[in-house]
Amino acid sequence: MSTVSPPDGCLIVTTTRSHSSSTVNDAIDALSPSEVVRVGGAGHKVMLLLEGKAHVYVFASPGCKKWDTCAPQAVLEAAGGTLTDIKGVQIPYHASAPHRNSTGVLASAAGQQHEVYLAKIPQHVKDNLKA
């Protein structure tokens, strides 16, 4: 699967258009992005990662559900990218897993250092999101 790499020398963060909060914005600000692209839909944001139009997708909020992230995550991982919760933990998809992604979402494009973005998310943001 071929994808386009996001540009070097800048940081484009994609996030929610309609579910912002102070925690959501604190996580974004901590990355010091050069641009923030606010669009609706988990799939839309992952598409931006695949198209090289954003480096990282950050959502430090509990609202997103398993069915919003499962297909986008599969496609992103097939392309070499990464999607975890905001703490870097794998999102569980087994039959008895809770429907809600209560510990948020952080996804990065292929070639990005996922752990570098994770390390920049403030501890109070991580602590605020409980499983």
- Residue 75's nearest CA partner among 36, 110, 112, 102 is 110
Of 44 and 87, the one with the shorter C-beta distance to Mg ion is 44
Indicate which of ligand A3P, Mg ion, none lies near residue 63 (CB less than 5 to 8 Å, by partner kind).
Answer: ligand A3P
Enter the DSSP assignment of 72.
Answer: H
Q: Interface with ligand A3P by CB under 6 A: which residues?
A: 16, 18-19, 40-43, 59, 61, 63-64, 68
Between the CA of residue 105 and those of 2, 34, 48, 99, what are the distances in Å? 24, 20, 15, 14
Indicate which of Mg ion, ligand A3P, none lies near residue 40 (CB less than 5 to 8 Å, by partner kind).
Answer: ligand A3P
Q: Interface with Mg ion by CB under 5 A: which residues?
A: 68
Which amino acid is residue 31, in one-letter code?
L
Indicate which of Mg ion, ligand A3P, none lies near residue 111 (CB less than 5 to 8 Å, by partner kind).
Answer: none
Of 7 and 41, the one with the shorter C-beta distance to ligand A3P is 41
Strand 35-38: give its sheet, edge to edge. 35-38, 12-15, 56-59, 105-108, 82-84
Least Å from the CB of residue 41 to ligand A3P:
4
CA end-to-end span of the chain: 33
* 29 labeled binding residue: no
The annotation places the binding site for Mg(2+) at: 68
